[in-house]
Amino acid sequence: MVSFTSHYLACEGRELHYTEWGAGRAETVIAWHGLARTCRDMDEVAAHLSPHFRVICPDTLGRGLSEWSRDPEREYCLAFYVQQAVALVDQLGLHEFHWLGTSMGGAIGTRAAAGPLRGRIRKLVLNDNGPELAEAALARIRGYAGRPAAFETVSELEQYFRKIYQPYGWLSDGQWRRLAETSTRRLPDGRVTPHYDPAMVMQFTHHDDDYGLWDAWDTLSLPVLCLRGENSDLLLPEVAEQMRQRGPRAQVVTVPGCGHAPALNVPEQLTVVERFLMAP
């Protein structure tokens, strides 16, 4: 796999970590991960795109190697993530760029493209995300995100990840191992747990309907590609169909053998993203 470099920037007073692939390429893709994940989920797609694009993969506030919020009730929400995204691209000197977002990362991109980054985001790729999410799936995510499991060993944590992220579709044993190792932090008692701040679940308790984005969606006019996991319980088929008909009239591609969300790690998925971003 093509190598990356690791960087840190202060954005809105909080340090964000990001990886950079394909440094020096003329065009840039911002690749933003999902709710309880880290930037390392984007390794395969970033490596695949790096011959053509510079790819910037941030860790969201409170995830991975980024700082945890000191004001979680206010900062763990899409509005603050968008503010940090603006600060990030401004410091990187990016005037125009593409956006690829999985789940929450897609919602950040939608809010940004309809708001402070309007006209600067040229193409938007949403990986199993849309302007309306199924409440039952949100309740499921709230259930595990706010109370992360803890285990004695990393091997046990990997087995847990394999279970809860089974909807991602096929991952090789090596990819599951990397997912576990890049998603692990050790607790004071020596056990290991997923690498995020449990307080990030305050997004759901203090920012009602943060993911209700139809108003933003209907103002968009840029090219949008939506990848929908065939068995996704978060992005329902009827919502995907509305995305085809409303606002930017997204191109929707159903990804077989996946739920929420496709792992962006196999040739079929990578090729769809690459073709969309490379098209004139």
pLDDT of the chain, 280 residues: tens digit per residue: 569 999 999 999 999 999 999 999 999 999 999 999 999 999 999 999 999 999 999 999 999 999 999 999 999 999 999 999 999 999 999 999 999 999 999 999 999 999 999 999 999 999 999 999 999 888 887 777 888 999 999 999 999 999 999 999 999 999 999 999 999 999 999 999 999 999 999 999 899 899 999 999 999 999 999 999 999 999 999 999 999 999 999 999 999 999 999 999 999 999 999 999 999 9
Per the domain annotation, does 153 fall within a domain?
no
Please state, as a whole number, how many other Cβ atoms lie within 10 Å of the Cβ of residue 253. 16
Q: What total number of domains does the chain contain?
A: 1
Per the domain annotation, does 245 fall within a domain?
yes
Per the domain annotation, does 12 fall within a domain?
yes
- In the prediction, which pLDDT does 1 show? 59
- In the prediction, which pLDDT does 143 show? 79
- In the prediction, which pLDDT does 137 show? 85
- Give me the CATH number covering residue 71: 3.40.50.1820
The rounded distance, in Å, linking the Cα atoms of 192 and 274 is: 36
Per the domain annotation, does 172 fall within a domain?
no
- In the prediction, which pLDDT does 92 show? 98
Per the domain annotation, does 60 fall within a domain?
yes
Asked if 130 and 104 count as a contact pair (C-beta separation under 8 A), the reply is no
Per the domain annotation, does 176 fall within a domain?
no
- Domain span holding position 254: 5-148+196-278
- In the prediction, which pLDDT does 2 show? 67
Per the domain annotation, does 167 fall within a domain?
no
| Single-letter code of the amino acid located at 247 | G
